[in-house]
Structure 1
Amino acid sequence: MLQVEHLCKSFGGVAATRDVSLAFPAGSLTAIIGPNGAGKTTFFNLISGHLRPDSGRVLFEGRDLVGLSSLEIARRGMARAFQVASLFPTLTVREAMTAAVAAHQRRSWSLLRRFPLEGSRARAGELLELLGLAGKAGVVSSSLSHGDQKLLDIGLALAMEPKVLLLDEPTAGMGPDERWRMIEKVHQLWQAKRLTMIFIEHDMDIVFKYAQVVQVLKYGAVLAQGRPEEIRRNQDVIDAYLGTDHHLALAGEA
């Protein structure tokens, strides 16, 4: 589905992404982890068209995306929800979702009408049900809780009917209970839609419970990749990121 080959990007002589090659099979759920400055968000920016790599390829269904705009990449089926939710703050939840659906359907002109096209409204309603936001459809987007704003932002990305969905720290800024509710909803969405989903996450309990595959970056390069149980016991990853407490916890399990 998505394959990255020898991706490189430097800023002012500092390598932010160094010869990164990763593969994301269709329908997979992958976590990207690593210490601050590892290049995780830069990697997302490169594959989604917000930055252009210095070299390398980003193959999506066999076609190279390098050089395409982020809008064109989105139209080809790669959507992204950001760490800070990007909403229509003055619109209600229903209006925001309907606007996103209409824009994807190339019906942006319908937003100027008093009554949006029925197909757009129906699709927006389906997405709100899927997200668990149907009961808040009449609430102004900016009045939602932090967690619900993040869910709505994911919904706006889903309105584009993507094949690949990028989630940049979906649980950032949440308390423990809200974090687990959020990632459970993300997992339910993945199960329901069977998207190729890639998420950046710092909470290792979440990563090891939900991810099928974990990719570890350090200083812009791939440090390790594998199934969660392999990454948990990888000494290089423990030394670079997981730390002594994690190592002691594993020893206690033995």
Structure 2
Amino acid sequence: MLRVENLSKSFGGVRATRDVSIDFPAGSLTAIIGPNGAGKTTFFNLISGHIRPDEGRVLFDGEDLVGLSSLEVVRRGMARAFQVASLFPSLTVREALAAAVTAHRRRSWQVLTRFPLAGAVRRADEIMDLLGLSQRAEVVSANLSHGDQKLLDIGFALAMEPKVLLLDEPTAGMGPEERWRMIGKVHRLWEVTGMTMIFIEHDMDIVFKIAQTIHVLKYGAVLAQGTPDEIRRNRDVIDAYLGVDHRLSETVGEA
């Protein structure tokens, strides 16, 4: 499905991404973690076409995406929900999603909100149902809670009909209860759709709970990769990121 080979990017004298190679099998749920400055968001920017790597390839269904614009990458089937939600603030949730669906199907970012394509409202309703937003259908987007705004941003990504969905810190800025509600909806979305999902997340309890595979970045390079149990017990990861206390708390819980 998605394979990244030897991806590297420098900004001036700073190597933000260094020779990163990762496979993302079809239908997988993968976490990208690492300390601040590890290169996680740069990695997302590279694979989604927002910036161009200095070296390496981004193979999506066998096609190298390097050199394509972010819009062209979306049209190939990779969509991204951002850390800061992007909204149509004056539209209701249903109107905003129908507008996003219409824009995608017309292959244009010029959204004619008053004249959605046939089927766009129906698709908007399907997306709201997937994300648990149906009861918010007539709420103006700007009046949504922070968590629901994040869900709407994911909805905009789903309107692009992706095969691969990138989630940049989907629980950022949320309290504990709201974080778990959000990640529960993300996990259900993955289970229902079967799409390939890749997410950046700082909350390690969430990462260890839902990720099938974890890739740890440090100074732009892959420090480790494996299952949650393998990562939790990896000495390099403990020293660089998790800390001994986290490992000990897990050990106590298993005793």
Q: Which moved more, 1:116-125 or 1:22-31?
A: 116-125
Q: Please tell me whether the aligned partners of residues 30 and 197 of structure 1 are also in contact (alpha carbons under 8 angstroms).
A: yes
Cα distance in 1, alignment partners of residues 121 and 107 from structure 2 = 12
**1:1-254 to 2 correspondences below 5 Å:** 1-106=1-106, 112=112, 114-252=114-252, 253-254=254-255
Q: Which moved more, 1:105-114 or 1:144-153?
A: 105-114
Gaps of 5+ in 1: none
Deviations 1:25-51 (A, max 9, x none): 000000000000000000000000001
Q: Please tell me whether the aligned partners of residues 29 and 212 of structure 1 are also in contact (alpha carbons under 8 angstroms).
A: yes
TM-score (norm 1): 0.96
Shift of 1:251: 4.0
Counterpart amino acid of residue 248 in structure 1? L
Q: Please tell me whether the aligned partners of residues 110 and 116 of structure 1 are also in contact (alpha carbons under 8 angstroms).
A: no
User: How many equivalent pairs are there?
Assistant: 254
Q: Which moved more, 1:138-147 or 1:102-111?
A: 102-111
Deviations 1:38-84 (A, max 9, x none): 00000000000001000000000000000000000000000000000
Counterpart amino acid of residue 48 in structure 2? S
Q: Which moved more, 1:110-119 or 1:168-177?
A: 110-119
Cα distance in 1, alignment partners of residues 235 and 93 from structure 2 = 46
1:149 is paired with a residue whose SS is helix
Shift of 1:170: 0.2
Shift of 1:135: 1.1
The percent identity for this pair of structures is: 78
Cα distance in 2, alignment partners of residues 37 and 110 from structure 1 = 35
Counterpart amino acid of residue 52 in structure 2? R
Q: Please tell me whether the aligned partners of residues 31 and 215 of structure 1 are also in contact (alpha carbons under 8 angstroms).
A: yes
Counterpart amino acid of residue 6 in structure 1? N
Cα distance in 1, alignment partners of residues 5 and 16 from structure 2 = 15
Q: Which moved more, 1:126-135 or 1:205-214?
A: 126-135
Q: 1:237 to 1:64 in 2, by over 3 A?
A: same
Q: 1:88 to 1:233 in 2, by over 3 A?
A: same
Cα distance in 2, alignment partners of residues 73 and 108 from structure 1 = 14
Q: 1:110 to 1:240 in 2, by over 3 A?
A: closer
Shift of 1:126: 1.1
Gaps of 5+ in 2: none
Q: Which moved more, 1:102-111 or 1:146-155?
A: 102-111
TM-score (norm 2): 0.96
Counterpart amino acid of residue 55 in structure 1? E
1:118 is paired with a residue whose SS is coil
Deviations 1:186-205 (A, max 9, x none): 00000111110000001111
Q: Which stretches of structure 1, 4 residues or more, deviate above 2 A after TM superposition?
A: 107-118, 250-254
Q: 1:111 to 1:231 in 2, by over 3 A?
A: closer
Deviations 1:69-105 (A, max 9, x none): 0000000000000000011111111110000110111
Cα distance in 1, alignment partners of residues 113 and 11 from structure 2 = 45
Cα distance in 2, alignment partners of residues 109 and 70 from structure 1 = 12
Cα distance in 1, alignment partners of residues 248 and 105 from structure 2 = 52
Shift of 1:114: 4.3
Q: Please tell me whether the aligned partners of residues 39 and 219 of structure 1 are also in contact (alpha carbons under 8 angstroms).
A: yes
RMSD: 1.5
Q: Please tell me whether the aligned partners of residues 77 and 163 of structure 1 are also in contact (alpha carbons under 8 angstroms).
A: yes
